[in-house]
Structure formats: structure tokens, C-alpha cells
Amino acid sequence: MQKNRNTTIFILIFLFVYFLFSQFYLKTLGNLYTYIINPLFFITIAIILKFTITSPYRNNKYKKTTIQYVLITVLTYVILLLISGLFLTYGKNPYSATFEGVLLNLCSIGLVVLGTEYIRYKLINNVLKKDKMLIFALIVIVFVLKDIDFIALTNSLNIYYVFKLIFANIIPSAIKNILLTYICMYTDYIPALIYEMLIYGVQWIAPIWPKTPWVFTSIVDSVFPLILFLYCRYEISSTNKFFLYKYSKPIEPKGTIPLVIGVVLVIWFTLGIFPVKPIGIATGSMEPSINVGDLMIIQKCTANDVEIDDIIEYDKDNYSIIHRVIDKYQNDGETFFITKGDNNDDKDFDPVSEKQLKGKAIFKIPYIAWPTIIIDSLSGRQTNADI
């Protein structure tokens, strides 16, 4: 088959219709869809394209270098997650790590990934150079839409869910699909397949997996494919005279390494991995000392480090409270604190045990926690902050 833009667009529209049909009907079939229908669909389309679309010539140098970058990126990604789990917590892996479980995952997910990357590779190379950017954009859009849970979106239209959908799903998926489509355009589907299968494969064989907040996961899942994309783009552009400079010139990727390190450190800081962590103030119980929207920096400490008049953070009913210590005593070898909000008429009803203690406030940054508080307020969620 000759390169044909209209044929490629038709296949993309067909894929999009299938994704919608899957969301609203096929997924209700359960295991029949997961283990048979969906893998069979992707493999069938891939086989059809294999015999109908001619594969282009590819420079093995780009392929080898890209695979090296992929291996380094995935290894760094996994190490970062495992280190984060040491400071946070590990939970049971949602995937089955048994031999039978790995085989089922290879069938239900592995075949889909294989078919997806081969289809991506065939489609992006089935058009002339002048149509590359259009088809590139359409491929990214269609495969991002594949990752969106439309049923959950229609059932949960509050602002928090939309915010989470954008930053936890759409943005990471878009960056990943830009990376994989770019790799398929300049090498072939093998490096893209290795990237996807290694990410999944590590989870399939791990008995436990870090339980990280979605904010952390979304940032990591966005930053790593972005850095890999910059490295691959720079490497290919430096040796390929046919590189598409029309839209933007490649950026030297080495300068992004300090940025990545900085982003990781900021994430770990907000998660409380370091001895200090930030927490937003959602109510006015500590006014005028601490106002709504202030960001408090909390230092981890023990009961012995806390003195009367210190402001502490403690847990109560799965919420974090920041109040001032007005008294301190011991009972049966355990330290207790009597606390009170500066703006409250009475002291807090229950004493705070040292087991509830999270840390003490060391300084505040006025008002910069307002964006988080506004989002939580509009979504109807109770923020884990001062009450």
C-alpha cells in the first residue's frame, strides 16, 4: 500500500470509535473483554497493518541509542519509586505476581501494548513528510482518549475530579504518547514496546509496590517520559539531516537534569520524606497568629522536643490539626498535651497523646496555600489541614 493520509485518518477514527464502544459497552463483559476481545482486537489490527502497509527503512544507530536511553530511564524511574516507598509505605501489588498472574497480564496487557505500539509505528510512517505533524497530533490525541475513563468522568463532574483527571491522567498520558509516537517515527516500535513492557513488567513481578499519592505519581509519570523525549530528540536531530525543524529546534537535554533533581526533591519535601514538611491552613482557629491560606512548615519531633506555647501538628480522626500547646503532662509514662486554637474560646476537648504528635511548627509562609484550599473547597473535600 502506498503512503496514504486518508487511510491513516480512517484507521484512527476506527480506533477512536472502538475505544468509545469499549468504554460504554465492552468493558461490562468483564474478563471476556479483558482477556480475549481487547487483546484480539489490537493484535488483529496490527497483523492487518503488517501486510498492508510497507515498513520504512530505519537507522539501527537511532534504535540502539534509543533503547539505551529507555533502559536508563526505566531503571531510574523504578529506583525513585522504590526509594520513595521506603520513606512512605508499601502496599500489596494490585497485579498478581504469581506465574499464572504474570501470564494473564501478558495476555490482557502485554498483547494490547504490543499491538498498540506496532499500530502506532505503522500509522505514523504511512504518510508523507508534509503530513507527519498532523498525523502525529491525531495519534497522540486518539491514544490519550483511550486512557480516559469516560464513564467515571460522566458520573463525577466535580472540579476536584476534573482537576485530578487532567493532572493525573491526561497530562502524563499525553507526554507518554508524544514520546512513544516520536520514537516510532524515527526508529521503530521495539524501543517503544520495551519502554512500556518494562514499566508494566516490574510491577507484575513485584510482590509489593510503593503507595504514593497521586500527585507524586502524576509528576513522576510526566517528568521521566519528557526527559527521555528530550534526549531522544536531541540525539536524533544532531545526526539526521532530515529532522523536522519546522516547528521547533531541539533543546540540549543535559540542562534538564538539575530541574528533574529539583522537582524530585520538592515532591519528597511535600510528602514529608525530609525532617520538615509543608501543610496548608484551611480554617481560622489559630488567627491572628496563623491565617487561612498560610503554609506552615512542620518539623518532625518527639514529645521531649515540645514545650508549652509551641504550635504542634497532630492527628485526630484522620485529619491533621495545628494548635498551640497550653499544658503538658505525663500519665503512665506517656506524654500528653493540652492544646487550644488561639482564636477558640475553649481548649480542645481531648488531650493529645505523643502517639498523635506529627511535629511542631517552625515558621509560616503567608497565603501561598490558597490554591489548594480553593480546589478542595470547590470539590467539597475536607483538606488535611488545620480545623
The domain ranges of the chain are 5-271, 276-379
All cell numbers assigned to 21: 464502544
**Half-sphere exposure (Cβ direction) of 154: Cα atoms closer than 13 Å:** 6
Q: What is the dihedral of CA 350, 356, 362, 363, to 10 degrees?
A: -70
Q: How far apart are CA 354 and CA 358, in angstroms?
A: 9
Q: Determine how many CB atoms are found less than 10 A away from the CB of residue 228.
A: 27
Please give the pLDDT value at position 40: 95
Q: What is the pLDDT of residues 36-50, one digit of tens each?
A: 999 999 999 999 999
- According to DSSP, the β-strands at 319-331 and 90-92 are unpaired
Please give the pLDDT value at position 333: 86
Please give the pLDDT value at position 173: 94
Q: What is the pTM of this model?
A: 0.73
Q: Could you tell me the sign of the dihedral formed by the alpha carbons of 281, 284, 289, 293, in that order?
A: positive
Q: What is the pLDDT of residues 197-255, one digit of tens each?
A: 998 888 878 777 777 777 778 888 888 898 899 888 888 777 665 554 444 555 556 66
Q: How far apart are CA 97 and CA 93, in angstroms?
A: 8
Q: Pick out the chain residues at pLDDT < 70.
A: 1-3, 57-60, 86-93, 97, 152-158, 160, 239-261, 263-274, 371-387
> In this structure, which CATH number among 3.30.56.10, 2.10.109.10, 3.40.50.1370, 1.20.200.10 belongs to the domain 276-379?
2.10.109.10
All cell numbers assigned to 363: 515558621
- CA–chain centroid gap for 114, Å, is 22
- Contacts of 154 by beta carbon, 8 Å cutoff, 6+ apart: none
What sections of 125-211 are H helices per DSSP? Answer: 132-146, 150-155, 159-164, 171-186, 189-205
Summarize the chain as % helix, strand, coil (round to 5).
60, 15, 30
Please give the pLDDT value at position 380: 47
Q: Determine how many CB atoms are found less than 10 A away from the CB of residue 246.
A: 10
Please give the pLDDT value at position 158: 66
Please give the pLDDT value at position 383: 42
Q: What is the DSSP string of 62-124?
A: HHHHHHHHHHHHHHHHHHHHHHHHHHS-EEE-SS--SHHHHHHHIIIIIHHHHHHHHHHHHHH
Q: How far apart are CA 325 and CA 291, in angstroms?
A: 18
